A and B are shown apart, each in its own frame.
Chain A
Amino acid sequence: MSARTLTEVPPRPGPYVRLLRAVHGRAYPRVIGVGRDKTWTFYEILLPLLGTFAFVYVYRALHAPERFVGYVIMGGATTAVWLNVMFMMASQLWWEKKDGNLELHMMAPCGLLPILLGMSAGGIFMATVRATSVVVLGSLVFHVSFAPTQIPAFILVFVVALVGLYALGVALSSLFLVWGREAWHTTQIFMEPVYLVSGFYFPVRVLGLATSAVASLIPLTLSLDAIRQLLYPHEHPKLLGVWTEIGILAVLAVVLVWAARTLLMRMERRARADGTLAQGY
């Protein structure tokens, strides 16, 4: 190695390049991990899918119309996304803290936000693979076919909902950053109660307008209702029109992205000041 090389300062990449590199770096293990260790397909797709099937059999026991089976399968697919948001976004910084990796993230010269963006990108990929598997396997087992009526609207709902959900995940992760053991217990409280108010397995309209309106603060509620309207345009008891729901979801996504950024900065400052950054338990 020449003396010139040792003393030469490499050109500093610009902020956007650093951002993209950080996003790529954090998304990489999640994207690659999907294909590398196949055991996750058993624990994260096949076994949870059986739990979803249980709800199909509930409707079978009630002699419900076939579209209810479709509701459950779409609910099962959404569960995959929600679990990813809760366990691999919201509680991820807590896991990192517990395992002693958080200090490494904090010292990286890119800030936490690009790292969380990378996590979101990788998480969206993982969740999409899992959700698609649920839909495909569920359709094959129960002979349900899905034919969305307006493909652009369907894609738009999906995209806007994912942005909102992962922004919510980042916002929650900032709370988890200052929490200790209560973080794990909080993920538990976000399971069945959220499945209930968001209408994972039944039309949310059944809950009544007031409850549905409050539940719409979680992007899952309106996105599921919109998707069901697009799948069963004539039979589904809708909450609002599809385009109204897409509009509300878009506003929610913007608000949640802003909230995520603000909360993350505040909580990071607070965790540094209180000395809880490295406190796993």
Chain B
Amino acid sequence: MATDMKVLATGTSVAPRSRLRTFVDTARGGFWLGWKIESNWTDAFRFLTYQIARPVGGALILVFMYYAVARGNRGPVLGFFVVGTAFWPLVLGGVQATVRGVLEDREAFRMIRPIYTSPISYRAYLLGRSLAGQAAWGSAAVFVTLAVGVIFLHIHLTITAASVALVLAATVFGVAGILAIGLLCVGAAFSTTHDAWQMPEAIGAALFLICGAIFPLTVLPAALRGFGAAFPLTWWLEAVRRVLLPSNAPRSFPSFGMPAVFGMLVLTTIGGAFVCAGLFSLAERRARRLGKLDRETAF
């Protein structure tokens, strides 16, 4: 970016960049902006405390629910809870940051017009904002919650080079799924007024149930189970749990082997990305047609 400015200052023409490069640069810009907004409101210690308090609190709720019923007995289901709550903040952070980014640009900073009309991909910008939210709200939470599980709850996690690689591979697809859902929510937020602020939290709560974030999908009614299986997040959590937890841990898809779980993860992520991108385009076109893109609703 600095080089571009120098070239512009000397009056020479800027070499055209590929579309991919422009997309990545825009996403990087969105990430940088999102990270600054999420993190520079306080010092590093307070920031970290705030980021881990919610997920650790969420994990401990499940632990105490478990102890209220099991009365001190430890079982494999405890690991299931901890892994689910450890990775869930990535979902909440990603969806919340994307929607809140649009709403703040529209309602608070009033920057949506210059951003939307600038020669960048608006989607790339939103993806960058979502990734910043995931990094800010989810990254520390994953490690801290898993560490709490291992140290204080004596949960056995399989940590080897191969398992870490598999978890990272699955998480790449999980993150892609979160980005897709974030785009979908932004599409809905274009046409929603003040309720849009509550939307990320509400969508997160619904996905919490549908994707079996904290319980095996086998306990859900069959129709809901089928619906949940259409989401990449469900397969992502299942894949991560299979890699990290021992074989006696509960499973959402007991009849599926590991390759089938990874296959479904890839398939649902690609399918979900196409569907969400398509719906986002439709919502974006509709919002432009109706003049809703920059319409402020907080009056």
Contact = CB atoms under 8 A, between A and B. Distances in A.
Chains A and B form a bound pair: yes
B70 interface: yes
Given A50-B206, A192-B57, A206 B195 contact: no
Interface string A87-130: 10000000100110000000000000000000000000000000
B66 interface: yes
Interface string A24-65: 000000000000010110111001111111110111111110
Given A43-B199, A54-B215, A192-B55, A68 B41 contact: no
Contact of A51 (B64, B77, B208, B215): B208
Contacts of B192: 39, 43
Contacts of B158: none
Contacts of B68: 64, 68, 202-203, 206
A185 B215 contact: no
A182 B203 CA distance: 24
Interface stretch (A147-155, A193-201, A253-261): A193-201
B70 A62 contact: yes
Contacts, number: 128
Interface in B191-215: 192-193, 195, 198-199, 201-206, 208-210, 213-215
Interface string B208-226: 1110011110011000000
B66 A51 contact: no
Given A50-B210, A51-B209, A60 B219 contact: yes
A192 B63 CA distance: 13
B299 interface: yes
B203 A47 contact: yes
Contacts of A64: 68-69
Question: A-side binding surface: helix, strand, loop or mixed?
Answer: helix
Contacts of B67: 206
B57 A195 contact: yes
B112 to A, nearest CB: 16
B198 A202 contact: no
B271 to A, nearest CB: 22
B54 interface: yes
B70 A206 contact: no
Contacts of B143: none
B26 to A, nearest CB: 24
- State which size class the interface on B falls in: 35 or more
Interface in B257-299: 298-299
B57 A40 contact: no
B198 A43 contact: yes
A57 B84 CA distance: 14
A189 interface: yes
A97 B109 CA distance: 13
Interface residues of A, number: 49
A280 B209 contact: no
A60 B212 CA distance: 13
A200 B61 contact: yes
Contact of A192 (B61, B108, B195, B219): B61
Contacts of B79: none
A47 B202 contact: yes
Contacts of B208: 50-51, 54
Interface in B49-94: 50, 53-55, 57-58, 60-62, 64-70, 77, 81
Given A47-B202, A201-B61, A185 B69 contact: no
A194 B298 CA distance: 28
Nearest to B198: A43
Contact of A57 (B60, B198, B219): B219
A129 to B, nearest CB: 15
Contacts of B202: 42-44, 47-48
Contacts of A87: 198
B250 interface: yes
A181 B136 CA distance: 15
Contacts of B3: none
Given A39-B195, A47-B206, A50-B209, A192 B41 contact: no
Interface string B20-53: 0000000000000000000001100000001001
Interface of B: 41-42, 50, 53-55, 57-58, 60-62, 64-70, 77, 81, 107-109, 192-193, 195, 198-199, 201-206, 208-210, 213-216, 219-220, 250, 298-299
17 contacts: A43-B202, A49-B205, A51-B205, A55-B65, A55-B214, A58-B62, A64-B69, A95-B298, A99-B298, A182-B42, A189-B54, A192-B55, A199-B64, A201-B61, A202-B65, A202-B68, A206-B64
